[in-house]
Amino acid sequence: MKRLRLRPPAVVLFMLCAMYFITYLDRVNVSTAAVGFGAEFNLSKTQIGLAFSAFAYPYLVFQIIGGWVSDRFGAKRTLVFCGLIWAAATVLTGLAAGFASLLVARVLLGLGEGATFPAATAAMSRWVAKDQRGFAQGITHAFARLGNALAPAAMIAVMAAYGWRESFYVCAGISFVWVMLWMRVFNEHPKDHPRITARELNVLPPPKPKSRTGLSWGRLFKRMVPVTVVYFCYGWTLWLLLSWVPMYFMNMGLDLKNTAIFSSTVFFGGVVGDTLGGVISDRIYKRTGDLNKARSRMVATCLALTLVALVPLMFTHDMYVSLGCLAVAFFFSEMTIGPMWAIPMDIAADHCGTASGMMNTGSAMAAIVSPVVAGLLIDRFGNWQLPFLVSIVLLAIGVMLSFRMRPQNKFNCGDAVSTQLPEPPVAVVAIK
């Protein structure tokens, strides 16, 4: 039986996979439930778009703050605090009495989930070997996309049996369970885990003494700007698909059941893409030792293939062609996730929570703008192709800027200044 027990690094990765699954289940279930609360509250497409994006405002604000908090106070405490907030917000979404209270609940959800991915990245920097970063980021995000894929069918099943409100109560219960398990199984530093072995510690990044100088925020922000902009270009398409795919197929005349099947098919493409993208990125790095090829060039290639997959949507209204295009586009766009989230660890291992928070502000900004702009375009012109046209343009920009990310150029910790922070953030490990 002892041989069947998962080793501590595998348990940590499994718990992070579960967290990614739950957070996306909690944030995208609203797109399926919109069929229920949209009719009950008599909302326009623009108002529904605002409900989709409301969580992204605090989510955007707390990316960098949450990244610093996780570097400063640790991933364990950060994720426990965040988990309690996002679980409570999910309950409040089910209790919403109208448009205003729905927006408040969604804003609280964004507050709770804002620091989750940067904190998870900080945890991975200690618990994942350098040559497995792409895989770790890919597999965790694959579980996020699994949440996307299962959410429509799962939420519709609950809605059909009980109602749209109950679907949020179920998600909240799952979230509270995860928080309790995380408190029990996670140790901030691998060396403190009672079951860790010397062999495992030799594979994991070695611990590094705390830095006695503060972080040079301006220099790190400047270093991360190209990465953040590329992630915004990716995020636009991500949030367009996550928010509007169910209603897009419903607009084509599908009933609720078939809408769930078509939407889940699109999102399952992302599950495969996330996993495969991380594996391929790590293999390229192991074979070539070139981070530029493993990260930047791979991101540029995948964004270009996403663009190509979306082009046929401009010329067809066939639901099966649309299904194929959207599934392929989502697959290639998600292949960028493993290399993209490995880049902050490659660039700034000592401050990867903060760096990944800076990067994810790009996706958070897209989460604010993309659903609302799509709703406005659909309301104004009655044309579901226009939002995808905007995606095509932004993807082209992302391809060009991918070559400016340069993950092989490290952020020099010597650039830090000693007067920025009263106390240094907790340094994450550097790989030798």
Write the secondary structure of the chain as one string of H (helix), E (strand) and C (coil).
CHHHCCCHHHHHHHHHHHHHHHHHHHHHHHHHHHHHHHHHCCCCHHHHHHHHHCCHHHHHHHHHHHHHHHHHHCHHHHHHHHHHHHHHHHHHHHCCCCHHHHHHHHHHHHHHHCCHHHHHHHHHHHHCCHHHHHHHHHHHHHHHHHHHHHHHHHHHHHHHHCCHHHHHHHHHHHHHHHHHHHHHHCCCCHHHCCCCCHHHHHHCCCCCCCCCCCCCHHHHHHHHHHHHHHHHHHHHHHHHHHHHHHHHHHHCCCCHHHHHHHHHHHHHHHHHHHHHHHHHHHHHHHHHCCHHHHHHHHHHHHHHHHHHHHHHHHCCCCHHHHHHHHHHHHHHHHCCHHHHHHHHHHHCHHHHHHHHHHHHHHHHHHHHHHHHHHHHHHHHHCCCCHHHHHHHHHHHHHHHHHCCCCCCCCCCHHHCCCCCCCCCCCCCCCCC
pLDDT of res. 201:
78
Average pLDDT score over residue span 393-401:
94
Write down the pLDDT at residue 209. Answer: 55
**Average pLDDT across the chain, whole number:** 82
Q: Is residue 247 part of a domain?
A: yes
pLDDT of 429 higher than 50: no
What percent of the chain is modeled with pLDDT above 90? 21
pLDDT of 332 reads 95
Average pLDDT, stretch 100-115?
A: 88
Containing structural domain, residue 61: 2-189+216-412
Higher pLDDT, 184 or 38: 184
Structure tokens at 262: 């078509």
The number of distinct structural domains making up the chain is 1
311 domain-assigned:
yes
Q: Please report whether residue 429 resides in a domain.
A: no
pLDDT for the residue numbered 329: 93
348 falls within a domain: yes
Binned at pLDDT 50, 70 and 90, residue 4 comes out as: very low
pLDDT digits (tens, 9 = 90+) for 314-368: 887 888 898 999 999 999 999 998 899 888 888 887 777 788 888 988 888 888 8
Asked, for residue 364, whether it belongs to a domain, the answer is: yes
Say whether pLDDT at 301 is over 90: yes
User: In the chain, what percentage of residues exceed pLDDT 70?
Assistant: 91
The answer to the question of residue 421 being in a domain is: no
Position 134 in a domain? yes
Report whether 360 contacts 303 (CB < 8 A).
no
Q: For residue 197, tell me if it sits in a domain.
A: no
Q: What is the CATH number of the domain that holds 240?
A: 1.20.1250.20
